[in-house]
Amino acid sequence: QGCAQKYIVKNYFYYYLFKFSAALGEEIFYITFLPFTYWNIDHSVSRRMIIVWSIVMYIGQVSKDILKWPRPLSPPVVKLEMRTNAEYGMPSTHAMAATAISFSFFIATMNQYKYPFELGLAAAFVFSTLVCLSRLYTGMHTVLDVIGGALISAVLLVLLYPAWDTIDHLLLTSPFCPLFSIVVPLVLCYNYPKLDYYSPTRGDTTTILGAAAGATVGFWLNNQCAASAHTGTGVQPGLPLASSTVVFVLARFFTGILVVLLTRWLMKSAVLGVLGYRYQFPMGDLQARRRLEVEVPYKFVTYSCVGLTATVLVPLLHQLLGLM
């Protein structure tokens, strides 16, 4: 499974389009788009997307390891990715994440900002469709996997939408929010379904829940400190951007991403160093890092710090630098 297949690219437009689209369902997209929304568009929209994203992704990841439906056989399918090949196929979490993020963004913004309803709906549909098609093109999922993932995500959105405001209010005001936000995800990570072999699903799930936990605690802290926790001061979609506004948006984004990536690197090194000392393994030992007692705390602590940094420290830095 670890051997790359040989293939010939006959259409570079489709190849790069769908390789890029596949990346829209991976960590590189989450760690850029979700913070960008929080720093530059609207805090309430970002909060709702993160809540939906974490719930949808947890259900999708767990469903894979419970159903245990295999990915498409290769051959005849040529697989353009190898990392996720060790995971099961049904449902496609790329399809779930794309549907959840695009449509939750659309639903959360359509009543707050003035833009054509049809344009927002079309953008959400195109985004999710491109990601879904990329999973077929790269050979990682069947049509049923993709349709199943999109439908599950749509059903979860319908079920969660009526409770959005209530959940958001509780996460901002409840004194139990920090405890709940940390303990519940940790319990879910430690009790993740066990497989007969190693799969990256548990680690990916821990990453997602850790980031959401840190961000949720950050939302609560901001609200307790009377920060602007409801509406951001950033750009409103659909309005023409002045050149100075674009400069501020880019400055906030690149400053924030630099701090977030630095936090991830520092915390990863520190936590792995502590765990390596505790369990007597070198930091480069991949097998040791896959053990439950190592993988869960290392990824949860690292990414909860990333989420906390993105929602608390980065906005403070923006204020100090005069970027707000």
For the stretch 25-70, pLDDT in tens is 777 888 888 888 888 888 888 888 898 999 999 998 898 888 888 8
22-36, 73-87, 247-261, 276-290: the lowest-pLDDT one: 73-87
Average pLDDT over residues 62-86: 76
Q: What DSSP string runs through 105-164?
A: HHHHHHTTS-S-HHHHHHHHHHHHHHHHHHHHHTTS--HHHHHHHHHHHHHHHHHHGGGH
Average pLDDT over residues 144-162: 90
Element (H, E) at 104: helix 93-110
Higher pLDDT, 5 or 267: 267
pLDDT of 98-148, one tens digit each? 899 889 988 888 877 777 888 888 988 998 888 888 888 888 888 888 999
3-state secondary structure of 68: coil
Burial class (CB in 10 A: 0-12, 13-18, 19+), 301: buried
Average pLDDT over residues 155-184: 89
Please, how many CA atoms are within 13 Å of residue 40, restricted to the half-sphere of its CB?
A: 22
Q: Which residues are catalytic?
A: 94, 141
User: Encoding tokens for residue 295?
Assistant: 């993988």
What pLDDT, on the 0 to 100 scale, is given for residue 300?
A: 94
* pLDDT for residue 226 is more than 50: yes
Q: Who's near 233: CB < 8 A, 6+ residues apart?
A: 324
* pLDDT for residue 256 is more than 50: yes
* pLDDT for residue 233 is more than 60: no
Higher pLDDT, 200 or 4: 200
What pLDDT, on the 0 to 100 scale, is given for residue 152?
A: 92
Please, how many CA atoms are within 13 Å of residue 63, restricted to the half-sphere of its CB?
A: 17
